[in-house]
Amino acid sequence: MAEPLSMDLRRRVLAAIAEGASGRSAGRRFGVSAPSVSRWRALERTQGDAAPKAVGGDHRSHRTEAHAAAISSALEAAPDLTLEELREKLAQERVFVSYGALWRFLDRHKITRKKRPRTPASRIDQTP
């Protein structure tokens, strides 16, 4: 994923425009596209500076979190369901989540799906 251009470059481009250069000529001078210059100018007008927005992070978990009560109640009713069975049960309740979203939800809430007991500790040597 591309990184946002530095604040130093943004400030220099905007300073050149403030000194009287056009947006296109300032963009050519600093090797930046004209649309980027115009977006930076708009950001400067609206928020006071041309700082970039945050990049990355989670944007969709709130969709799954909205159904946390339904997921928890389905797990309490049948704690030995596989993820695919849990998805089917939730779909019957009109809650549609993907396999990956459900897995990430369980991981975030520290809910494990292991079905067999832990292997006993070794009598001879410690296991890592």
Say whether both 40 and 65 belong to one domain. no
| Whether pLDDT at 127 is above 70 | no
pLDDT in tens, 84-125: 999 999 999 999 999 999 999 999 999 887 666 667 777 777
Q: Which domain holds residue 24?
A: 7-47
Indicate the number of domains in the chain.
2
**HSE toward the beta carbon, residue 70, CA cutoff 13 A:** 18
Say whether both 34 and 70 belong to one domain. no
Tokens 């596989």 sit on residue: 82
Q: Which residues contact 121 (CB under 8 A, 6 or more apart)?
A: 127
Q: How many residues does the chain have?
A: 128
Looking at 19-98, list the stretches that DSSP marks H as alpha helix, in order from N- to C-terminal side. 23-30, 34-47, 61-65, 68-77, 83-92
Has this prediction a pTM greater than 0.95? Answer: no
